[in-house]
Amino acid sequence: MILNTGSRTDIPAYYSEWFYNRIRAGHVLVRNPYYPTQVTKYLLSPEVVDIIVFCTKNPAPMLDGLAMLSSFDTLWYVTITPYGRDVEPYVPPKEQVMDSFRRLSTVVGSRRMSWRYDPVFITEKYSLSYHVEQFGKMAEALSGYTKQCVVSFIDLYEKTRRNFPTVRAVTPQEQKGLISEFSKIAKANGLQIHLCCENESLVRENVDADGCMSKAVMESALGCRLDVPRKKPARSECQCLLGADIGAYNTCGHGCLYCYANYDKETVMKNMKMHDATSPLLIGNITEDDVIKTAEQRSWKNGQLELFDGYM
């Protein structure tokens, strides 16, 4: 199975101590975000967890404890964007994040690292030319430390419009222009671009729309085939394997204006105060009303080792 950590929050940045405590304990509990009294127990064992997927804007707090993950396969998605504190108020300086990215890559290997440049949006400050310039600088700084980059354009959900009223979506014509420039830059730096839920008209020589966390990407990271059970995707256009996430919504402290996983600052602050690094749950503790069910887990590796050249 694939264990996800980052669709709902940023565990490496804010909850690394808790996560390593769960690795020591050998299990983790996850509260259902829609039915809070329903709790799922996942075993944290390399015998049933084929790969742990991290999504973060700051992997630095995880670096000193990486030896604890030596028996697990991991895949890291690190978001590094060109925005300032006006948009991402509590994200560390980009130079620090890129340094952590490079340090992490030297440990886990470049094929287990992915640079996320998303979401892409337009404001008076963050123009099309600004994106091209900054993408070029970042691609050069990360060249050799990863072989892939994920790019997506902003989705203007209701909460995004409320928290970020000055943002503008990127028009289809602007998207084509940006991806054309990004493709040239990526090719020069040895990067394959994976579009995240974007139109296939944007596909180029080194730009695909097959998904950023797809079965093929996971197999490339692992170097073997996976027999993944068929399951209806979260979105029809998305082939990513996004189940079994151990995070919780409204718990990320970065405060990014475009965030879809946080409702508002007050809710996030309230939840973060309830965090207990010794608890099996990310937020709070088990109550007498909770119903705990152990997840069905098994390895999806079929033992067929291969070399993959198409993705990473």
pLDDT tens per residue, range 122-156: 999 999 999 999 999 999 999 999 999 999 999 88
On whether the CB atoms of residues 118 and 259 are closer than 8 A, the answer is no
The answer, yes or no, to whether residue 295 has pLDDT greater than 80, is yes
Is the peptide bond preceding residue 59 cis, with omega within 30 degrees of 0? no
**Domain ranges across the chain:** 2-305
- The residue with tokens 């409204």 is 250
- Other CB atoms within a 10 A radius of the CB of residue 217 amount to 27
Q: Distance between CA atoms of 125 and 68, rounded to whole angstroms?
A: 42
> Which H/E stretch holds residue 54?
strand 51-56
Write out pLDDT tens, residues 198-251. 778 899 889 998 877 888 888 888 888 988 887 765 555 566 777 799 999 999
CA–CA distance, 33 with 37 (Å, rounded to integer): 9
Strand partners of residue 30: 40
Percent of the chain with pLDDT over 90: 74
Q: Which of 22, 4, 77, 50 is nearest to 277 (CA)?
A: 22
Q: Structure tokens of 25?
A: 């304990």
Residue in this structure with the two tokens 């073997």, named with its chain if needed: 224
* Model confidence, pTM: 0.92
pLDDT at 268: 95
- Give me the helices (H) in 109-202, please: 128-142, 158-163, 172-188
Q: Is the pLDDT of residue 293 over 60?
A: yes
